[in-house]
Structure 1
Amino acid sequence: MPKFSIALGIIFIAMGLYGYFGISSESITALIPTFFGIPLMILGWLGLNEKYLKHAMHGAAVLILLGFAGTVGGLFKFFRMLGGAEMERPAAVTVQAIMAILCLIFLVFAVKSFIDARRNRQE
């Protein structure tokens, strides 16, 4: 999970920088994925040390849960946009939807990892 956290952090940082510099530098909100990616990458890096693994990955899961909660609305807007609805900022909606999906994927793997770790500890 730590390597996945680092990779996802890098993806979020790239998404935020692309959203700000590539699509629209009008609003600092385009950097929100970057603001999630930096601490996620740091938590992943900390998780590479076995001593901090448990706490770092739980912190990453909480951070990603907050990210998912904040972007899930963009996922619904994205599906409405695919259905033909007009959106004011379609690029922002697309970035939110991608971030929501990536957060959900991470959460699924994190929960599975936590369950597996508990089972291995009990055996």
Structure 2
Amino acid sequence: MSEFKVLGMTIPRIAILNGAVLTIWGAISYFLQSTDPPSITALIPAFLGFPMLVLGVFSERDGKNRHHYMHASMALALVMTLGGARIVTGYSDMSTLAIIAHLLLLQVGISFMIAGIKSFRYARELREASGD
């Protein structure tokens, strides 16, 4: 059985990469912000990215339950998309760090959902072709 890939990466690997990027960005933006004391909301990308990273790792290590981990990752991606979409309502009152965070959440959420949906379709087609 061939595995679905996007740009040469499996969906769990994409989850790990996206989760790492969001986690690192959340930490960077928390320490770079100019407010005193730092606002915990700067860590929102990390709060969403770290679980995605963990789900990606679990998915790579536990192939039997991969579909469960990837469905949970898709739910996280939907939350990311909805949270990142706030930028559409007005970014004039946002800091540069907040704008970047919202754009990252939007990009990661939408792209991961697209790749995940394609992966789910691919898996279903393979199951149907094999008669399972």
Question: TM-score if structure 1 supplies the norm length?
Answer: 0.86
Aligned length: 116
Greater helix share, 1 or 2? 1
**The one of 30, 39, 60 aligned to 2:73:** 60
What is the CA-CA distance between 1:15 and the residue it aligns to?
0.9
Q: Could you tell me which of 103, 110, 116 is aligned with 1:104?
A: 110
**Could you say which residue in structure 2 is the equivalent of 1:11?**
21
Residue 40 of structure 1: aligned partner: 52
Gaps of 5+ in 1: none
Runs of 4+ in 1 over 3 A off after TM superposition: none
Q: Which whole-Å CA distance do the structure 2 matches of 1:43 and 1:62 have between them?
A: 11
RMSD of the TM alignment (CA)?
A: 1.6
Query: How far apart, CA to CA, are the structure 1 residues paired with 2:94 and 2:122?
Result: 43
Give the aligned partner of residue 120 of structure 1: 126
Q: Which consecutive unaligned segments of at least 5 residues does structure 2 have?
A: 1-10
Cα distance per residue 1:7-49 (max 9 Å; x no partner): 1110010110111012346210000000011111111011112
**Residues 40-75 of structure 1: per-residue CA shift (max 9 Å, x gap):** 11110111121121100000001110111111112x
Give the AA of the match of 1:71: G
SS class of match (1:52): helix
Is contact 1:13–1:33 with CA below 8 Å preserved after alignment?
A: yes
> Do the aligned partners of residues 46 and 89 (structure 1) sit closer, same or farther apart at CA in structure 2, a change above 3 Å counting?
same
Identical columns (%): 29
